[in-house]
């Protein structure tokens, strides 16, 4: 956290460095270090989902009959979570996300949040899940 709280900058303009700029609010988007910090956070979230699968709290899905189970995929700053439509698995997934949010300060952007159901999921189950 020392790296986040003690950020200092110098800007090069017309081949000259400016005086030292001391940030009062930590890392900003575009800071070269912020991408690494984000990767560390997402690695923690990934391990939380892997742990939940190993402890049989969530099962994930398979892309093929004998393929490995997948419970999440990350791409850049997006996440796809694969959870079976069982109350205990959905609750376990939500608990992981709440724990991650409290630990990292990163929350779900509800503007981008979407839920997709398997075509076999009944309308009653879809309504109950919302």
Q: Stretch 57-66: mean pLDDT, rounded? A: 91
Percent of the chain with pLDDT strictly greater than 90: 32
Percent of the chain with pLDDT strictly greater than 70: 87
Average pLDDT, the chain: 84
Is pLDDT of 42 > 70? yes
Determine contact, residues 17/9, Cβ cutoff 8 Å: no
What is the spatial distance between Cα 7 and Cα 17, in angstroms, rounded to a whole number? 17
Two tokens, residue 32: 């070269």
Q: Which residue has the tokens 């800007």?
A: 11
Measured at the CA of 65, the angle between CA 90 and CA 115, to 5 degrees, comes to 30
Is pLDDT of 25 > 70? no
Is pLDDT of 49 > 90? yes
Give the chain's largest Cα–Cα span.
65
Domain positions in the chain are 34-128
């Amino acid at each position: 956290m020392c790296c986040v709280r003690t950020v200092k900058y110098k800007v090069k303009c017309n081949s000259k460095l400016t005086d030292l700029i001391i940030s009062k609010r930590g890392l900003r988007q575009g800071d070269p270090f912020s991408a690494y910090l984000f990767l560390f956070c997402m690695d923690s979230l990934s391990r939380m989902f892997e742990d939940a699968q190993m402890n049989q709290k969530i099962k994930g899905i398979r892309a093929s009959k004998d393929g490995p189970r997948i419970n999440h995929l990350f791409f850049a700053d997006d996440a796809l979570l694969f959870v079976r439509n069982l109350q205990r698995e959905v609750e376990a997934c939500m608990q992981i996300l709440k724990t991650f949010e409290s630990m990292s300060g990163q929350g779900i952007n509800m503007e981008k949040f979407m839920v997709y159901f398997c075509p076999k999921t009944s309308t009653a189950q879809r309504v109950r899940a919302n």
